Amino acid sequence: MIANTFETVKTENVTTWFKAAPTSKFPKNAGACIKYKDKQIAVFNFEREGAWYACQNLCPHKMEMVLSRGMIGEENMEAKVACPLHKNTFSLKTGENLNGTLDAIATYPVKVEDGFVYVGFAD
C-alpha cells in the first residue's frame, strides 16, 4: 500500500539530509514536488512565515500525488496545506487532518544551506 511508504521523520532522527534543489526552484508561499528514491515529497517555502515545510505528496483521501499543488495557509497560527482535489487541509507541523478525520500525513524536516534546500530522511 502506497500510503505506508511515508513515515514522519523528526530532525533528531535524520540520517540523510537529501540535497533536493536550489532555493530558486521553489515558488514563494506555495509548493513544489521533489523526488527522493521512490518517494514524492511536497516542499513548501512559506516565505511569509519565514519557514520551510515538507510532507508526503500523497493525499490520504484518494491516494493521489497532488499535495504539492495545494494552497498553503495557516489556521490558528499553524501552517497547513489544502489538497487541490477536495480541499482537505493538513497541518504542515503535525501532519494532522484539520478539517476531517483522515489519516495524518507524514512530515519531514527541511533546512536551507548555501542556497540549497535539504530534506531530512531516515532511510
**Contact footprint for other proteins (CB under 8 A):** 1-4, 20-21, 25-30, 32-35, 40, 43, 46, 48-49, 62-66, 69-77, 79-80, 82, 84-85, 87, 89
CB within 8 A of 76, min separation 6: which ones?
none
Comparison of 13 and 29: residue with beta carbon closer to other proteins: 29
Comparison of 9 and 92: residue with beta carbon closer to other proteins: 92
User: Minimum distance between the CB of residue 13 and other proteins, rounded to whole angstroms?
Assistant: 22
User: Minimum distance between the CB of residue 34 and other proteins, rounded to whole angstroms?
Assistant: 5
Comparison of 32 and 106: residue with beta carbon closer to other proteins: 32
What are the CA-CA distances from residue 41 to residues 64, 88, 100, 109 (Å)? Answer: 12, 18, 22, 11
Q: How far, in Å, CA of 83 to CA of 68, rounded?
A: 8
| Pairing verdict, β 39-46 and 89-91 | unpaired
Q: How far, in Å, CA of 43 to CA of 40, rounded?
A: 10
Comparison of 12 and 114: residue with beta carbon closer to other proteins: 114
